């Protein structure tokens, strides 16, 4: 239990301030951010610097730092259309990742039809050089995190506008105690299982109601269940996190999940009244923004690189 509480507190530190931002609509004609008045001011929030870098650092690919405090060298783009995937919210320019993440997503898309899932609608990965973002996530900074919509891909290519304005499917019932049986399907179990079974994947974050459904619905081998952890929100998409790549010595790993399925007391924790209805994160809440000096020193090179 002690280990579990520690995990929850640690994860809380990592992910608070990460609502279901896949639901924010984008624009087919996004306006570039205005240049910073004082780009060299050390007090500039790092998100203002990384949020203005639209192309990757031309360096050898490396994930640098921790999922919620780091950056990405040599980022690779996931093509916006693939055999079994389409990238959503193109205006966000967040389809960048470490090559291991891109390779993983292509593998998962390949397996999707066998899992009963038509294809992936891909939400945010990372910015071109990773780092903190202007909106949304606390993590997704090192190119090892990916959000996948809980909506299967339609059998046609979505238009630019649809990719900005279409909404993902909330699979959780209004009382948050379970999934909506009219929406939840065996294919949802299949695609989450297929992702969890990939050896590169270390953890997957889902709403507690989804974890409950997986605990109930998983058939046969259940050894993948321990990687799927309950978390706030995550009722429209699931969040996949892969481990530190071999080529990234300064990537800081997260302690592994416990080996238990997490279907007993750990899951019950999430259905206590005060946990199940966390206060909505206020968007105008004053947040402490990390500056470049809070990130690993190598992130300076990533920022200034060609």
By CB under 5 A, the residues from 131 to 150 that bind Zn ion are 147
DSSP 74-106: S-EEPPSEETTEEE--GGG---EE-HHHHHHHH
Residue 1 CB, nearest approach to Zn ion (Å)? 27
Place of tokens 């579990």: 4
Residue 147 CB, nearest approach to Zn ion (Å)? 4
Residue 240 CB, nearest approach to Zn ion (Å)? 8
Binding-site residue total for Zn ion (CB under 5 A)? 2
Nearer to Zn ion, 147 or 164 (CB): 147
Instruction: Name the helix (H) or strand (E) containing 2.
Output: helix 2-15
Q: Are 269 and 18 in contact (CB under 8 A)?
A: no
Q: Which stretch binds Zn ion (CB under 5 A): 62-70, 77-85, 110-118, 233-241?
A: 233-241
**Crossing angle between the packed helical segments 186-196 and 99-111, to the nearest 10 degrees:** 140
Give residue number: closest CB to Zn ion: 239
Nearer to Zn ion, 147 or 261 (CB): 147
> Is residue 163 near Zn ion by the rule CB under 5 A?
no
Residue 123 CB, nearest approach to Zn ion (Å)? 7
Instruction: Name the helix (H) or strand (E) containing 202.
Output: strand 201-206
Residue 20 CB, nearest approach to Zn ion (Å)? 9
**Crossing angle between the packed helical segments 186-196 and 208-217, to the nearest 10 degrees:** 100
> Is residue 239 near Zn ion by the rule CB under 5 A?
yes
Residues near Zn ion (CB under 5 A) are: 147, 239
């Amino acid at each position: 239990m002690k280990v579990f509480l520690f995990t929850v507190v640690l994860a809380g530190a990592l992910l608070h301030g990460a609502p279901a931002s896949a639901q924010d609509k984008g624009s087919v004609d996004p306006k570039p951010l205005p240049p910073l008045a004082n780009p060299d001011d050390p007090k500039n929030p790092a998100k203002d610097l990384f949020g203005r870098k639209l192309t990757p650092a031309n360096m050898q690919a490396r994930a640098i730092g921790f999922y919620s405090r780091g950056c990405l060298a040599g980022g690779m783009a996931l093509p916006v259309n693939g055999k079994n995937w389409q990238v959503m919210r193109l205006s966000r320019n967040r389809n960048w990742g470490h090559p291991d993440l891109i390779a993983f997503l292509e593998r998962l898309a390949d397996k999707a039809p066998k899992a009963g899932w038509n294809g992936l609608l891909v939400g945010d990965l990372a910015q071109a050089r990773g780092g903190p973002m202007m909106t949304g996530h606390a993590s997704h900074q090192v190119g090892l995190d990916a959000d996948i919509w809980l909506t299967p891909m339609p059998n046609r290519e979505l238009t630019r506008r649809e990719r900005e304005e279409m909404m993902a499917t909330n699979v959780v019932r209004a009382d948050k105690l379970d999934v909506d049986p009219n929406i939840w399907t065996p294919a949802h179990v299949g695609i989450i299982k297929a992702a969890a079974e990939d050896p590169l994947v270390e953890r997957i974050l889902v709403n507690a109601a989804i974890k409950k459904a997986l605990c109930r619905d998983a058939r046969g081998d259940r050894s993948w269940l321990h990687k799927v952890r309950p978390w706030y929100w995550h009722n429209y998409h699931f969040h996949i996190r892969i481990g530190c790549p071999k080529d990234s010595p300064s990537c800081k790993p997260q302690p592994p999940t416990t080996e238990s399925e997490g279907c007993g007391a750990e899951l019950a924790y999430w259905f206590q009244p005060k946990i199940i209805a966390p206060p909505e994160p206020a968007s105008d809440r004053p947040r402490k923004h990390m500056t470049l000096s809070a990130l690993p020193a190598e992130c300076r090179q990533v920022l200034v690189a060609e």
